[in-house]
Homo-oligomer: A and B are copies of this chain.
């Protein structure tokens, strides 16, 4: 794995490549995005036809757009899709008309409080058309006639999503999910995509215990489609993490699963706490990203969400200010590092059973214990062995041991390996 600073730069470069594409919940923007991601890690791309029933939903028509603009009487484009994919209301139906500003105005979305920024707006399930622009651009428009054109198509097609799998030693799965449906927004969620890609590469360096499945799918409808098409696989999903807003300058935030005490919740709380990083742990709420779907009460998976500043928690959220300058190599590298630390714990966390539970087993004759008694400086490794033996009753995991003993998880896991090797533990 590249050093942290280098991997940060690589992730940022990926964000910059993906930034200009006009993504939505369907269409060629998603396909182009997945094609670039596929250059980093192999992807299995799925195309699901319009009209397919997915849980309570139906895959919508596919939306594609070639051009869109508002031009003034002189023909000058005062709002231009070619400058930014944000300028068009997502899923706009086609329009080609000339109208006075007064008639156009209800179709124009701005942020009066942030007059220089362009908002991000969509209308997936109600046929509308519209443009997003800076308030100061709007303020500068003189009355008069404007040419309005959106060259989009909304037609039967497909919803596109992709998977990448890092095979583990067991078929039980950990899913890492990130949404790929937002257009030119860097933190939301190109940074998440980039962290996911480099996390996958890191996990593949050494075969992990779990099988890790990375899901790159449009928000909401994409996760719902994946869940609908993987009802049996869901039985094997043990843990999961949604990555979103992974690159802004804020502190890390872990949003717990609906269960609140799922193993992934405990692992992230532990790793963030012992890391010494300032961070926030928040309760589950049924709003946010695709943890909403994974944690819906019928599935109720142990899936949390890792962000830096969570959605809607920063002024740049869903605006043109969420651009590649807003995310940094350092922040993305930090998010990636915590993911790696967390999965290193998750992957080794087990519940063992002490096979010699009546009294302490004699560690000395197995070469596991310092032979010179009477000293008070029993080494950490030996303390870890005693703790693992004491708590390995099938009820406590190694993470429980680490938290109760105050010893580092790695030390505890190493002690468990030694005891397992000596035949004193079974899983």
Contact = CB atoms under 8 A, between A and B. Distances in A.
A128 B390 CA distance: 30
Using C-beta atoms within 8 Å of the partner chain, give the interface range for chain A: 35 or more
Interface stretch (A65-73, A193-201, A342-350, A365-373): A365-373
Copies of the polypeptide in the assembly = 3
Contact of A372 (B126, B299, B373, B389): B126
B359 A285 contact: no
A258 interface: yes
Interface stretch (A208-216, A236-244, A374-382): A374-382
Interface string A383-414: 10011011111000000000011000000000
A74 interface: no
A360 B221 CA distance: 10
A375 B319 CA distance: 11
Contacts of A123: 371-373
A52 interface: no
A42 interface: no
Contacts of A223: 359
Nearest to A25: B373
A386 B124 contact: no
Contacts of A311: 376
Contact of A357 (B121, B125, B298): B298
Interface stretch (A246-254, A269-277, A289-297): A289-297
Contacts of A227: 358-359
Nearest to A378: B287
25 contacts: A55-B359, A56-B360, A56-B362, A90-B373, A119-B374, A121-B374, A121-B375, A122-B374, A123-B373, A125-B364, A126-B371, A258-B390, A285-B387, A285-B405, A286-B360, A286-B386, A292-B360, A292-B386, A293-B359, A296-B358, A297-B357, A297-B391, A297-B392, A299-B359, A311-B376
